[in-house]
């Protein structure tokens, strides 16, 4: 999961846009209804296609958390460059949609239902990937969640759920990916952390602890396996504009213009630097670069893609 916006969640519900921003959205909705013209937030230009680029031709890629957002964008991109993509997630219907989308575009993909909280399901996901495609070259360990509230208000179960998904889930994925890579003589692993690993905010202690720990995990693993040809790097995205952002805010059913205007107000107050959110495609593009053979001397690195957010920290 990418860096989230500020929210406070009761158990079982995740919010992304804070209450002030949601209040602003409601006010803006009324204004729009009265015919008030309000500018929409800036959006990134689409990443231009790269015809003929086939960095992952014949390679097998395993992705966790790929039924939406960054993982979804990465699955499409890996497949478009010739990769055989196996991916997991908990939401079966979305997984089937992503698999169909890739195949309809001429790519090769396999959705496998798995929750990174469950060791047997992680093992089965990786084993089936290799059984289906014969080997494993690349892993993009991207699954993650967040619950945000003051530290003393977390239940132990909530704390464990965040850390077990974000940190233990990556450990489990790597535990079962690495033996196959060792057998093949090498591979690349990319782990999604967050800009909260560098500079965080209130109510993010569980999320920040897990995402900062991932940086240390990657550094140690990179040293463990560099002699065997396995490179491991951390991707550190800032706040990313994904469908999850809107769903978590409970804004799925409002007109798109109203949602984006409310989001714009939040961005103006909370996103320094370029003053916009990342797109899932931008973050996925960097994940592919890290997973490719373009930088064979890079391992144990933390690559930040946050539009300048953490440059202003402190």
DSSP character string of 19-57? HHHHHHHHHHHHHHHTT---PPPP-PPPPPP-TT--TTT
Which of the four pLDDT bands, split at 50, 70 and 90, describes residue 306? Answer: very high
Position 35 scores a pLDDT of 39
Cα Dmax for the chain: 65
Q: What percent of the chain has pLDDT over 90?
A: 69
Active-site option among 111, 176, 180, 207: 207
User: Mind listing the pLDDT tens digit for each residue in 157-185?
Assistant: 999 999 999 999 999 999 999 999 999 99
pTM across the whole model: 0.85
User: Which letter does DSSP use for residue 152 in this model?
Assistant: G
Position 108 scores a pLDDT of 98
Position 253 scores a pLDDT of 83
Position 245 scores a pLDDT of 65
Q: Is 207 a catalytic residue?
A: yes
Radius of gyration from C-alpha coordinates of the chain: 19
CA distance 308 to 271: 8
Position 170 scores a pLDDT of 98
Q: Per residue, what are the HEC states of 187-242?
A: EEEEEECCHHHCCCCCCCHHHHHHHHHHHHHHHHHHHHHHHHCEEEEEEEECEEEC
Q: Which CATH architecture has domain 56-237+272-312?
A: 3-Layer(aba) Sandwich (3.40)
What mean pLDDT comes out for the span 189-208? 94
Residue 70 has pLDDT above 70, yes or no: yes
Query: Which residues, listed in sequence order, are joined to residue 241 by a DSSP beta bridge?
Result: 279
* Among 24, 99, 79, 45, CA closest to 265: 24
Q: What percent of the chain has pLDDT over 70?
A: 80
User: Mind listing the pLDDT tens digit for each residue in 216-265?
Assistant: 999 999 999 999 999 999 999 998 887 666 655 656 688 888 888 888 88
What average pLDDT is seen over the chain?
A: 86
Q: Which residue has the higher pLDDT, 129 or 27?
A: 129
Residue 210 has pLDDT above 60, yes or no: yes
Position 30 scores a pLDDT of 44
Q: How many CB atoms lie within 10 A of CB 298?
A: 15
Which of the four pLDDT bands, split at 50, 70 and 90, describes residue 22? Answer: very low
Tokens read off for 87: 């991916």
Q: How many CB atoms lie within 10 A of CB 157?
A: 11
Q: Which residue has the higher pLDDT, 206 or 19?
A: 206
């Amino acid at each position: 999961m990418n860096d989230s916006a500020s929210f406070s969640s009761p158990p079982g519900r995740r919010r992304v846009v804070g209450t002030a921003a949601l209040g602003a959205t409601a006010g803006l909705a009324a204004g729009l209804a009265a015919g008030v013209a309000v500018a929409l937030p800036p959006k990134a230009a689409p990443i231009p296609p790269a015809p003929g680029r086939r960095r992952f031709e014949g390679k097998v890629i395993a992705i966790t958390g790929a039924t939406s957002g960054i993982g979804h964008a990465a699955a499409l991109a890996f497949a478009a460059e010739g990769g055989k993509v196996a991916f997991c997630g908990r939401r079966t219907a979305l997984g089937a949609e992503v698999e169909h989308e890739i195949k309809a575009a001429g790519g090769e993909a396999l959705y496998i239902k798995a929750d990174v909280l469950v060791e047997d399901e992680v093992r089965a996901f990786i084993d089936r990937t290799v059984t289906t495609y014969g080997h494993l070259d690349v892993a993009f360990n991207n699954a993650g969640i967040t619950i945000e509230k003051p530290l003393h208000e977390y239940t132990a179960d909530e704390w464990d759920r965040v850390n077990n998904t974000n940190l233990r889930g990556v450990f489990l994925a790597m535990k079962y990916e690495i033996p196959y890579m060792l057998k093949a003589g090498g591979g690349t692993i990319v782990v999604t952390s967050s800009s909260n690993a560098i500079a965080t905010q209130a109510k993010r202690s569980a999320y920040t602890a897990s995402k900062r720990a991932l940086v240390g995990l990657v550094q140690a693993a990179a040293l463990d396996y560099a002699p065997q040809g396995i490179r491991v790097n951390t991707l550190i995205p800032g706040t990313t504009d994904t469908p999850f952002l809107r769903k978590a805010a409970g804004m799925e059913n409002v007109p798109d213009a109203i949602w984006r205007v409310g989001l714009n107000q939040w961005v103006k107050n909370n996103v320094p630097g370029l003053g916009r959110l990342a797109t899932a495609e931008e973050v996925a593009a960097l994940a592919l670069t890290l997973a490719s053979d373009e930088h064979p001397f890079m391992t144990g690195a933390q690559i930040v893609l946050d539009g300048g957010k953490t440059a202003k920290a402190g």
